[in-house]
Every structure is written in C-alpha cells, then in structure tokens.
Amino acid sequence: MHPAFSVIFFTVTSGAGYGLFAITALYQALAAQQVMSPVQVLVSCAIALFLITIGLISSTFHLANPKNAWRAFSRVRTSWLAREGLLAILFYPIAAGYLYLVWQDMQGAVMNATAILAAVWAVVTIFSTGMIYACLKTIRQWNNALTPVNYIMLGVMLGSIIFVIIASIGEGMSQGVITTSAYLIAIAAVSKLVYFFWIGAPAGSTINTATSFTNNMVRLLDVGHTAGTFLTDEFGFEVARTRLLALRWMVAVFAFVVPALMVWLSLASGPVTIAYVVALLSAFGGVLTERWLFFAEARHVVNLYHGSQQC
C-alpha cells in the first residue's frame, strides 16, 4: 500500500494523544498517592488534546474532497471508519467534563468514574482506528488481531513517555510512573516483534488460488494495461527487501531500544528529564517509521492480477 504521510501523521499523533490522556486520567483516578498536581494534569490533557486534534485535522488531507469528510460518519453500523470518527468527536465532551472536574479539584467517586470513562473511551478510539485496517480481509498483513493491539500499545507507549516528562517537571515524581513506562515500552516491543514474524509467514493468497488453477504453476502474461493505474500506484507500492529489513531494525532501535535504555537509566540514576526527551524524540521517530512500514509492507490481493505471484 502507498504510505500517505497524512495518515501516518494522524495515526501516530492521535494515538499518542489518546494514550497520554488515558494514562493521565487513570493515574489521577487509581494512583495510591497523587503524583501530579491539578495544573500538571491539565497541562498533560491539553497536550493530549492538541495531539489528537492536529492528528484528526491531518487525516482530512488524505481525502480527495475534504469538505465531504462528514460522510465518514454515515455508516456507523457497518464501518469502523465511521465508528472511529464518531468516537473521536464524542471524546471531546467527555474530556471537557473530566477537565472541568480537575479544574474544580474534585475528589471522590464521580471524579474517578469520569476519569476511568475518559481513559477507556480514549483506548477504544485507538482500537477503532486499528480496526479500520484489521477488518480488511483483502490485506493479509493487516487482517489479524495484532493490528489493533499494536495501535493501542504504541499509542499508550508514546503517551507514557510524554506523561513521564510532565510528571518529572514537578515534585513528587514516583518511581512507579517510570517503571510503568518501561514495561509499556517492553510490551509494545514484543507485540511489534510478534507482528513482524506474523507477516513474514507463508503467503495466504497466490496467483494460483486467485485463479483457482492450483495443480500447476500459473504465470500472468498480460496485465491488461501499458501504464500505471490507480490500483498499481495505491495498492502496488514496491520497496526493496533490503530496505524493508533496514527499516525494521531502525524501528527496533529507535522506537524501543533507545527509549527503554533512557527510561531504565533514569530508574538507576534518578529522574533525568533530558533522558526522557531523548526517549520521546527517538520513540516518535521510530513509531513514524513503523507506521510507514505498516503501509509499505501491506500487499493487497488485487496485485495478483497485476503481476505479483503472492500477497
């Protein structure tokens, strides 16, 4: 699939924003001791909403006719895209209600329930974004449970690193916050590693299965056109195997290894804000590369009718 920068930017920034908001709300509601002041919570949520908003805006640039974006909400019963759009819009009033309670320094069951609702809604929204791709049976690399899991884990991982930076600026920084971020990085890394092994498995569809001629080798002699088409440009994106492997190593190093080392360094030597900033920049670069690979490595079955032997 052709990697569109607007979609890559949208999925990474909005995922990080929802992850940050979810972690902030959950810590505010469930932490045994308050690790952040109300001002820090408001700042954290404001950053989260900013990331979510610029991500949603950037997603419209992928549309051929952005003014018709409202049509994406018209198929909620059957479309994960419509569900994701509706969840994203409804998240704003829920977030506003939570922030109002934080501003009023509210405590108790109502505050905790609102925080948990906001956190769960944020995670469900990330899940729905991943399901936009996971529901496509025509793309084997996406059509599995690991796709929404990776979307959630990478978003929450980025959010946790931003959360650690914000929490480290004030007093009362908890080691539990840093440890949680380290574990989230590790879980996200394992999830992505499993995904890489999954898509490297033998192809599920070949030119033989596409044509139902399974007894002998089938070879396409004529693709039916002499120039590129929308299908070959959008669904037939080709990248050299060596380049894909190099980018996978970059994802492993910058998205997971460097952030993990920086976070664990802070556990050993005490909070070091510069280490968190390095971890965040490295993680964002790594996840952007991961999301580019997510699209570049996807093989639509339509390619079988345009010269590919397998998908």
- Tens of pLDDT, residue by residue, the chain (311 residues): 788 898 999 999 999 999 999 999 998 888 756 667 888 899 999 999 999 999 998 888 777 676 666 777 778 888 898 899 899 999 999 999 999 999 988 888 899 999 999 999 999 999 999 999 999 988 888 989 999 999 999 999 999 999 988 888 766 567 778 888 999 999 999 999 999 988 876 666 777 766 777 777 777 777 666 666 777 777 777 788 898 899 999 999 999 999 999 888 877 666 667 888 899 999 999 999 999 999 988 887 777 776 666 66
Q: Supply the pLDDT for residue 107.
A: 82
Residue 139 DSSP SS3 = strand
Q: Supply the pLDDT for residue 307.
A: 64
Question: What pTM was estimated for this model as a whole?
Answer: 0.89
Q: Rounded to an integer, what distance in angstroms lies between the CA atom of residue 61 and that of residue 183? A: 35
Q: What is the residue extent of each domain of the chain?
A: 5-306
Q: Supply the pLDDT for residue 265.
A: 81
Q: Which alpha helices (H) appear in 145-272, and where do they start and end?
A: 146-169, 175-199, 207-211, 230-235, 241-250, 258-269
Q: Supply the pLDDT for residue 171.
A: 60
Q: Rounded to an integer, what distance in angstroms lies between the CA atom of residue 284 and that of residue 222? A: 43
Tokens representing 97 are: 């209600």
Q: C-alpha 111: how far from its chain's center?
A: 28
Superfamily for the 5-306 domain: Formate dehydrogenase/DMSO reductase domain (1.20.1630.10)
The answer to whether residues 35 and 173 touch, using CB atoms and an 8 Å cutoff, is: yes
Q: Supply the pLDDT for residue 64.
A: 66
Neighbour-count burial of 205, counting CB atoms closer than 10 A to its CB (0-12 exposed, 13-18 middle, 19+ buried): middle
